[in-house]
């Protein structure tokens, strides 16, 4: 790699003009590529005045925004200092505003740390205490996701110099180059170190995309045990993995707050499906991709917040490439439809993607075998999937789909969080297979369109109407027929396995002795696993069918009173230990976890787990229903009022005492740590705050 600052010199008069110019060096690289370390190493040894502008620390040591970075960089450049823009900057859109800082008196460089994904992931999995809190197992998936959206910088964007680093040796050379640049020195213009100007997939990423049995110890990523939510909602030790996210088309914005890219998406209905026109069916891929994109576009308006994910095991999949390009041309929302590289049977455990429904490119007999996706899904689903399929149908015609609710005994359910498998059969052009169409693509495309229609309708029956298909009677879905005629069942809330941890504890507390603080015939008490205050308990109801506050009726009033009494007893205990604590007892209007539970939470909100607006607003707006009000409403009207989640969760951040507004969580937490204003008058009535008024209502 050309790194010698004395080579490729410009003409003397041009070089003189450049002397003394500050440099805006825009770093480009995924998390874990070493951007911050690069800055520190240069600044430690350079005689040129450098300023590091990092979005993770721009806001008084806390995460800030892109405008704050731009303002800081512009101010430093105006003072004649050079700046490192320490952000990922993986696409042109993220770089353009920083490139525009360039002027006749400012040179704009790019330093691209395009290291192998394996190296970045191994670093990010092992690191702790990261400024932006991007670390551990979930961060590995983020790296692969971001890398597939990257655009390598070009001189045409406005850069005068671009340095590409493909390995650690290149990085060391670049550090030496920039360290050697003194206050009056300049660097030659041009591109240095780039081997493939059109490169997009990182060198080294393919090792993460091997089939599980092809991976050996030499290829494995150094890993670390981390605690995170498993598919059943329990805290578990997991080894992070990066397979599966390489083709993910979700756009990850660098302007998001720390942690926002790792929000739990397990409550978003998601269908993962392979290409139905299987390889051994020999269907033309161009025509198949046209059908996929056309059908996805047709169903976009019906999806709501649900997602469709096209999955393939190999990075070089032609069908994924074709679909990605055609979906982009049609401007299909890449947050609701994207492609994904990985094992469809291990999307959660290996790729970090929660999918409650997966599709199987089945054979007409609906039996295991035949290799490919069908064999893999039946193998992963175990005997429970095969038995559930047989209960509903013994065969399937091309163009049709069969929705199979997955028994909880299936490993796909317990490990991956999959609640339904949809078997679907596409057209066949292989004369050695049944129902061959003899290259009749008019009929073949019609069958394929019907197959995808059937598949998506089956998914919508689960995601939108929340219909649980009875296991005793199958529903074979025919593409052209109406949905109302295709599905029979009862409307009920379908909970993903990862959202049933509280239910499992309430039903069998004896199996969770380490978590349970108190248990009786009516309730179970435990600490919130992610407390949002110094003291934060959950009091769980031990009755089946009482999943949420909306389920509570007058016959449940004695149980609600018991839950309240138990909560008050724990408040008395905590206040006896710390008299400064004040509590509220209440319910979320729309809980994120199954099984009705009462929050007993101190009002200091002093917790590292309180990170997002949703956390704050769920406890300080009308979304949080005080227990005394809930009991009164149910006693008088037979049910509790459920507040609008979307509106209340998007409200501005306000102090729960003085009601002052704040721009972000760090500023809010700083304020509430010292705010001594009295609580609002409405909270001081009817025993909503305890211990001020700790007598049980009624």
pLDDT in tens, 312-331: 987 778 888 899 999 999 99
Residues 373 and 513 placed together within one structural domain of the fold: no
Angle, in degrees to the nearest 10, between helices 285-299 and 441-463? 40
Residues 393 and 461 placed together within one structural domain of the fold: yes
> Does the residue 377 lie in any domain?
yes
Residues 393 and 508 placed together within one structural domain of the fold: no
Contact 587, 625 (CB under 8 A): yes
* Total domains in the fold of the chain: 3
Task: Say what the pLDDT of residue 496 is.
Answer: 63
Residues 163 and 117 placed together within one structural domain of the fold: yes
Task: Say what the pLDDT of residue 494 is.
Answer: 59
List, for the chain, all residue ranges whose pLDDT scores fall below the cut of 50.
1-18, 131-132, 135-136, 196-264, 466-492, 693-698
For residue 555, what is the domain's CATH number?
3.30.428.10
Residues 526 and 431 placed together within one structural domain of the fold: no
Q: Which of 176, 192, 208 is the last residue of a domain?
A: 192
Q: Which residue has the tokens 């925004």?
A: 65
> Does the residue 254 lie in any domain?
no
How are beta strands 536-541 and 523-527 bridged, if at all? antiparallel
Q: By percentage, how much of the chain surpasses pLDDT 70?
A: 76
> Does the residue 638 lie in any domain?
yes
Task: Say what the pLDDT of residue 141 is.
Answer: 61
Residues 453 and 564 placed together within one structural domain of the fold: no
Task: Say what the pLDDT of residue 497 is.
Answer: 64
Residues 364 and 462 placed together within one structural domain of the fold: yes
Task: Say what the pLDDT of residue 142 is.
Answer: 65
Phi, psi of 653 (to 5 degrees): -75, 125
Helix, strand and coil content of the chain, in percent to the nearest 5, comes to 35, 15, 45
Pairwise CA distance, residues 326 & 554, whole Å: 55
> Does the residue 663 lie in any domain?
yes
Which two three-digit tokens encode residue 151? 């655009």
For residue 109, what is the domain's CATH number?
3.40.50.300
Residues 159 and 32 placed together within one structural domain of the fold: yes
> Does the residue 490 lie in any domain?
no
Segments forming the whole domain that contains residue 168? 23-192
Q: Which residue has the tokens 């009482």?
A: 546
Pairwise CA distance, residues 480 & 94, whole Å: 44
How are beta strands 475-478 and 190-192 bridged, if at all? unpaired
Task: Say what the pLDDT of residue 534 is.
Answer: 96
Pairwise CA distance, residues 170 & 3, whole Å: 9
Peptide bond into 41 cis (omega under 30): no
Residues 59 and 177 placed together within one structural domain of the fold: yes
For residue 369, what is the domain's CATH number?
3.40.220
Residues 425 and 502 placed together within one structural domain of the fold: no
Residues 584 and 669 placed together within one structural domain of the fold: yes
> Does the residue 472 lie in any domain?
no
Q: Which of 466, 489, 518 is the last residue of a domain?
A: 466
Q: Which of 446, 466, 486 is the last residue of a domain?
A: 466
Q: Is 515 exposed, middle or buried, given 0-12, 13-18 or 19+ CB atoms closer than 10 A?
A: middle
- Residues marked active site are found at 597
Task: Say what the pLDDT of residue 119 is.
Answer: 79
Q: Which residue has the tokens 């170190």?
A: 193
Non-local (6+) Cβ contacts of 325 within 8 A are none
Residues 393 and 516 placed together within one structural domain of the fold: no
Task: Say what the pLDDT of residue 501 is.
Answer: 86
Virtual torsion, Cα 74, 77, 79, 81, nearest 10 deg? 140
Task: Say what the pLDDT of residue 32 is.
Answer: 83
> Does the residue 402 lie in any domain?
yes
Task: Say what the pLDDT of residue 281 is.
Answer: 65
Task: Say what the pLDDT of residue 668 is.
Answer: 95
> Does the residue 17 lie in any domain?
no
């Amino acid at each position: 790699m050309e790194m010698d600052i004395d080579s490729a010199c410009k003409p003397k008069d041009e070089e003189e003009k450049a002397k003394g110019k500050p440099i805006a060096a825009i770093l480009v690289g995924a998390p874990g590529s070493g951007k911050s370390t690069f800055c520190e190493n240069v600044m430690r040894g350079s005689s040129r005045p450098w300023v590091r502008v990092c979005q993770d620390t721009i806001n008084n040591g806390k995460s800030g925004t892109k405008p704050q970075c731009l303002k800081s960089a512009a101010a430093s450049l105006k003072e004649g200092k050079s700046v490192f823009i320490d952000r990922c900057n993986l696409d042109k859109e993220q770089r353009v505003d920083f490139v525009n800082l360039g002027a006749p008196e400012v040179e704009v460089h790019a330093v691209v740390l395009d290291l192998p994904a394996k190296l970045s992931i191994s670093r990010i999995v092992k690191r702790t205490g990261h400024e932006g809190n991007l670390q551990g197992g979930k961060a590995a998936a983020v790296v692969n996701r971001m890398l597939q959206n990257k655009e390598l910088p070009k001189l045409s964007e406005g850069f005068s110099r671009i340095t590409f680093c493909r390995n650690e040796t290149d990085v060391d050379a670049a550090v030496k180059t920039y360290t050697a640049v003194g206050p009056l020195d300049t660097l030659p213009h041009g591109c240095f170190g780039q081997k493939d100007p059109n490169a997009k997939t990182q060198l080294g990423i393919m090792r993460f995309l091997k089939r599980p049995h092809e991976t050996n110890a030499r290829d494995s990523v150094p890993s670390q045990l981390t605690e995170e939510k498993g598919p059943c909602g329990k805290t578990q030790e997991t080894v992070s993995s990066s397979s599966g996210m390489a083709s993910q088309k979700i756009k990850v914005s660098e302007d998001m707050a720390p942690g926002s890219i790792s929000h739990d998406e397990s409550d978003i209905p998601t269908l993962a499906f392979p290409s139905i026109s299987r390889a051994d069916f020999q269907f033309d891929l161009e025509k198949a991709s046209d059908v996929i994109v056309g059908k996805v576009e047709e169903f976009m308006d019906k999806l709501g917040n649900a997602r469709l994910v096209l999955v393939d095991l190999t990075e070089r999949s032609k069908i994924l490439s074709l679909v990605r390009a055609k979906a982009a041309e049609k401007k299909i929302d890449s947050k609701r439809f994207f492609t994904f590289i990985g094992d469809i049977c291990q999307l959660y455990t290996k790729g970090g993607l929660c999918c409650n429904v997966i599709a199987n490119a089945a054979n007409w007999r609906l039996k295991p075998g035949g290799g490919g996706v069908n064999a893999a899904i039946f193998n992963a689903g175990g005997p429970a999937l095969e038995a559930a399929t047989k209960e509903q149908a013994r065969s399937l015609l091309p163009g049709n789909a069969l929705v199979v609710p997955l028994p909880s005994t299936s490993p796909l359910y317990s490990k991956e969080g999959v609640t339904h498998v949809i078997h679907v059969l596409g057209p066949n052009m292989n004369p050695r297979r049944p129902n061959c169409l003899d290259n009749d693509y008019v009929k073949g495309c019609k069958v394929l369109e019907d197959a995808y229609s059937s598949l998506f309708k089956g998914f919508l029956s689960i995601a939108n109407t929340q219909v649980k298909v009875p296991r005793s009677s199958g529903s074979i879905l025919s593409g052209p027929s109406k949905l109302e005629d295709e599905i029979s069942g009862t409307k009920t809330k379908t909970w993903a396995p990862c959202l049933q941890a509280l239910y499992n504890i309430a039903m069998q507390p004896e199996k969770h002795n380490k978590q349970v603080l108190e248990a009786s015939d009516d309730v179970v008490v435990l600490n919130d696993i992610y407390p949002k205050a110094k003291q934060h308990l959950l009091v769980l109801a031990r009755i089946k069918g009482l999943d949420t506050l909306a389920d509570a009726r007058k016959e449940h009033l004695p149980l609600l009173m018991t839950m309240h009494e138990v909560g008050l007893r724990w408040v008395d205990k905590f206040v006896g230990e710390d008299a400064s604590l004040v509590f509220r007892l209440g319910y979320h209007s729309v809980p994120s976890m199954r099984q009705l539970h009462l929050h007993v939470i101190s009002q200091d909100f002093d917790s590292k787990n309180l990170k997002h607006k949703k956390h704050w607003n769920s406890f300080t707006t009308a979304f949080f229903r005080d227990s005394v009000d809930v009991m009164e409403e149910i006693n008088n009207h037979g049910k509790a009022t459920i507040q609008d989640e979307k509106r209340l969760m998007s409200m501005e951040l306000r102090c729960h005492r003085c009601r002052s507004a704040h721009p972000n969580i760090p500023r809010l937490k700083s304020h509430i740590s010292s705010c001594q204003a009295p609580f609002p008058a409405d909270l001081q009535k009817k025993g909503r705050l305890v211990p001020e008024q700790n007598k049980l209502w009624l």
